[in-house]
Amino acid sequence: MTAVARVYRWEIAKLLAQKRTYLGLGAAVVVPIIFVVVLVIQSGNGPTDVPLGRYLRDTGLATPFVVLFFMSIWGLPLITALVAGDIVASESHNGTLKTILTRSRERGEIFAGKLLATFSYTVVLVFAMGLVGALAGTIAWGLHPLTSLSGTTVPVGHSIGLLAASLAVYVLPLAGIAAFGLMLSTITRNSAASVVGTLMWALLMQLIGVLPGTESFRAYLLGTQFEAWHGFLRTPADWAPVVRALWVCSLYIVIPLIAAYLVFLRRDVAGE
Amino acid sequence: MSDAPPVAARALVKRYGEIVAVDRVDLTVERGDVFGYLGPNGAGKTTSLRMLLGLIRPTEGSAQLFGRDPVVDGAKALDGVAGFVEGPRFYPYLSAHKNLRLLADYDGGDARAQIDEVLELVELRERQHDHVGAYSHGMRQRLGIAASLLRSPQLLLLDEPTTGLDPSGMRDMRDLVRRLSAEGITVLLSSHLLTEVEELCNRVAIIRRGRIVYEGRLEELLATAGGGYRIRTAELERARMLCSAQAGVDDVRVVEGELCFQADEDAVAALSIALGQARIGVTALVPQTASLEDLFLGLTSDDDEPARATREAIVA
């Protein structure tokens, strides 16, 4: 096992031993269930103002897509920030950072392990939410072909493939938020400040996107990339937003990570 | 492992803005030493240790462990080195055993195979599956030693390892340090507990306001205040006159009903014979030795006249 893999394995073990991990993960899977229960209780065709909302009761496969829309505003950014903002700061605060930095692992290896664990958590969050949403929706409304955003009917098997691809693309902006959280966690050494700061950053990206006069650069805001999966649900598939999400999110991921990495490598680890 | 000394700090400086926490510290710890690093709170001990372990970067100078600099060589500089600063810290939500497994995996090699052995050594085997969050301070200190021993160290850096322990915990910790030293492990022990240093260490460095004011053998430090003797006798005045007339006996004074003087050992031997021949009964003739505490206070107190005089005498 490589050094980074060892660190990564223990970062996952640490996450699995902490309540906040389950709090976030629990919230991510409970929200789609609550969403379905509320819609089952309610009558009507809504929500009609969100992508695929009007087809929600036609097939359970529409549920995760609609939940993705709602959770992108602050739900998933908050859950992501809970872990990303804490992963270095809590170790600084508890003094365990100096414990692991005085062993036989380089700082870069430790940082890489923490980064991989943060991203793993983000991926698990999104896919767990998608899976539970699809299951809950299927229980409520059955497993039927999906109607795409272009109005065409997509067979069940293909719809599941599109859901997986959409979740994968949805992870990208969330990884940008996670990278920002990791940077704040490294620089501020304060969990609360990092979590709140990361959430504020995510909300700011959303807010700027809805302000008038921001049309010229709206496509390059992090919040906009939460809609990139719409491209998969058009017929034929529109790859432009997906490709843009890839490179735009790469910038939102790489820049804070470089900053965090450099700080982590050089920072003094003294009493916090 | 190279032939370089376990610890060699040269002109080590750490500044935080205007504050100089460590000021041109030179420190050499030789193999087999139990080296006491003494100083009042805030003198720069922990900052020095942090630089030695690579946790903070020196502003100037270098710190090498067995010839390797943590700033240059990274984690490789810590091969054969273990310890903790400001008390050992662990993940409170993991058991002691899991904490050690984590650290053993970070270390690699056969560290994992030693977990049971080191837990047995620090007498934590029965509580190994309890969360560390439920451990007492003393148990955490012992777990800190266990975590250090997992690395099979040749050099142990311990920052005030007995702080916060009850008397029996302190005794156990000191016994452990003694045992490890007997096994050939070099120990650098930072402390402000003078009895601890006097009991365990063969060499010491005393740091004051970031600067080393003494480095050398403990016995030599204690000897710097030697040369004084005192006599207790019922015939104080006759004894005083005899002492004053005796060759090699100087600075004869009566202090609190006893006769104090300066002399070397030969002169004291001759004096004792002379006192006997003069039929002056002596109930006590004892060397006046300053305690480490006296010397420490003299070296680290603020610049009042007695402190300065002590410092000058020791440095001279």
Query: ipTM of the predicted structure?
Result: 0.89
Q: How far apart are CA B104 and CA B125, in angstroms?
A: 16
> Could you give the percent of chain A with pLDDT greater than 70?
99
The CB-side HSE value for B172 (13 A sphere, CA atoms) comes to 13
**Amino acid at the residue B113:** A
- Predicted confidence (pLDDT) at residue A104 exceeds the cutoff of 60: yes
In the numeric block, the tokens 């022990």 are attached to B189
The mean per-residue pLDDT over the stretch A70-79 comes to 90
Q: Torsions phi, psi of B191, nearest 5? A: -160, 155
Residues 6+ apart with CB under 8 A from A125: A24, A25, A28, A76, A79, A80, A174
**Of B168 and A101, more confident:** A101
Q: How far apart are CA A74 and CA A242, in angstroms?
A: 21
**CB of B108 within 8 Å of any CB in chain A?**
yes
In this prediction, residue A73 carries a pLDDT of 82
Residues 275-314 of chain B whose Cβ lies under 8 A from any Cβ of chain A = none
- Judged by CB atoms closer than 8 Å, whether chains meet at B106 and A104 is answered as yes
From the list B55, B87, B106, which residue is nearest A105 (CB)?
B106
Of B72, B34, B65, the closest CA to residue B49 belongs to: B65
Name, of A70-74, A181-185, B207-211, the range with top average pLDDT.
A181-185
The mean per-residue pLDDT over the stretch B113-118 comes to 93
Q: How far apart are CA B311 and CA B224, in angstroms?
A: 10
Of A4, A15, A7, the closest CA to residue A80 belongs to: A15
The mean per-residue pLDDT over the stretch A204-221 comes to 90
What is the rounded radius of gyration, in angstroms, for the C-alpha atoms of chain A?
20
Average pLDDT, chain A: 93
**CB of B90 within 8 Å of any CB in chain A?**
yes
Q: How many interchain CB pairs under 8 A, A with B?
A: 86
In this prediction, residue A48 carries a pLDDT of 77
Chain A contacts to B (CB-CB under 8 A): 3, 6-7, 9-10, 13-14, 17-18, 94-96, 98-107, 266, 268-271
The mean per-residue pLDDT over the stretch A140-149 comes to 93
Q: How far apart are CA B283 and CA B232, in angstroms?
A: 6
**Amino acid at the residue A116:** L
- Dihedral in degrees, nearest 10, Cα atoms B277, B280, B284, B287: -60
pLDDT, tens digit, 9 for 90 and up, residues A146-192: 999 999 999 999 999 999 999 999 999 999 999 999 999 999 999 99
- Judged by CB atoms closer than 8 Å, whether chains meet at B75 and A106 is answered as yes
The mean per-residue pLDDT over the stretch B81-93 comes to 92
Whether the CB-CB separation of A99 and B147 falls below 8 Å is answered with yes
Q: Which of B86, B102, B103, B140 to mutate to test the interface with A (most CBs of A within 10 A)?
A: B102
> Could you give the percent of chain B with pLDDT greater than 70?
92
Q: How far apart are CA A230 and CA B77, in angstroms?
A: 52
The mean per-residue pLDDT over the stretch B251-258 comes to 87
Q: How many residues does chain B have?
A: 316
Confidence of residue A1 (pLDDT cuts 50, 70, 90): low
- Judged by CB atoms closer than 8 Å, whether chains meet at A14 and B82 is answered as no
- Judged by CB atoms closer than 8 Å, whether chains meet at A103 and B107 is answered as yes
Confidence of residue B250 (pLDDT cuts 50, 70, 90): confident
- Judged by CB atoms closer than 8 Å, whether chains meet at A99 and B147 is answered as yes
The mean per-residue pLDDT over the stretch A76-87 comes to 95
Angle at A199 between CA A179 and CA A251, to 5 degrees: 30
The CB-side HSE value for A226 (13 A sphere, CA atoms) comes to 25
In this prediction, residue B308 carries a pLDDT of 56
From the list B55, B75, B78, which residue is nearest A98 (CB)?
B55
- Judged by CB atoms closer than 8 Å, whether chains meet at B83 and A101 is answered as no
Cross-strand partners of B155: B81, B186
CA distances B126 to A175, B98, B147, B162, B172, Å, are 43, 14, 16, 22, 17
> Could you give the percent of chain B with pLDDT greater than 90?
58
State pTM to two decimals.
0.85
Of A233, A58, A84, the closest CA to residue A160 belongs to: A233
In this prediction, residue A132 carries a pLDDT of 97
- Judged by CB atoms closer than 8 Å, whether chains meet at A266 and B78 is answered as no
Cross-strand partners of B14: B22
> 3-state secondary structure string, B234-298?
CCHHHHHHHHHHCCCCEEEEEECCEEEEECCHHHHHHHHHHHHHCCCCEEEEEEECCCHHHHHHH
CA distances B164 to A79, B95, B125, B133, B170, Å, are 39, 22, 22, 17, 9
In this prediction, residue B166 carries a pLDDT of 84
- Of all helices (H) and strands (E), which one includes residue B230? strand B228-233
Confidence of residue B303 (pLDDT cuts 50, 70, 90): low
The residue extents of the domains of chain A are 2-267
**Of A51 and B312, more confident:** A51
- Judged by CB atoms closer than 8 Å, whether chains meet at A270 and B56 is answered as yes
Quote the DSSP letter at residue B75.
G
Which residue in chain A has the smallest CA separation from B93? A17
Which residue in chain B has the smallest CA separation from A14? B94
For the stretch A203-212, contacts whose Cβ atoms lie closer than 8 Å and that sit 24 or more positions apart, written own/partner, are A203/A74, A203/A77, A206/A72, A206/A73, A206/A74
> Could you give the percent of chain A with pLDDT greater than 90?
83
pLDDT, tens digit, 9 for 90 and up, residues B306-315: 555 555 555 5
Whether the CB-CB separation of A170 and A245 falls below 8 Å is answered with no
Cross-strand partners of B286: B230
Confidence of residue A72 (pLDDT cuts 50, 70, 90): confident
Q: Torsions phi, psi of B40, nearest 5? A: -65, 170
Whether the CB-CB separation of A42 and A143 falls below 8 Å is answered with no
Where does chain B have alpha helices with state H?
A: 45-52, 70-73, 96-107, 115-121, 137-149, 167-182, 194-200, 218-223, 236-245, 265-277, 292-300, 305-315
- Dihedral in degrees, nearest 10, Cα atoms A270, B127, B191, B86: 10
pLDDT, tens digit, 9 for 90 and up, residues B7-48: 999 999 999 999 999 999 999 999 999 999 988 888 899 999
Q: Which two tokens stand for residue B169?
A: 């915990």
Q: How far apart are CA A104 and CA B105, in angstroms?
A: 9
Q: How many residues does chain A have?
A: 272
Cross-strand partners of B19: B16
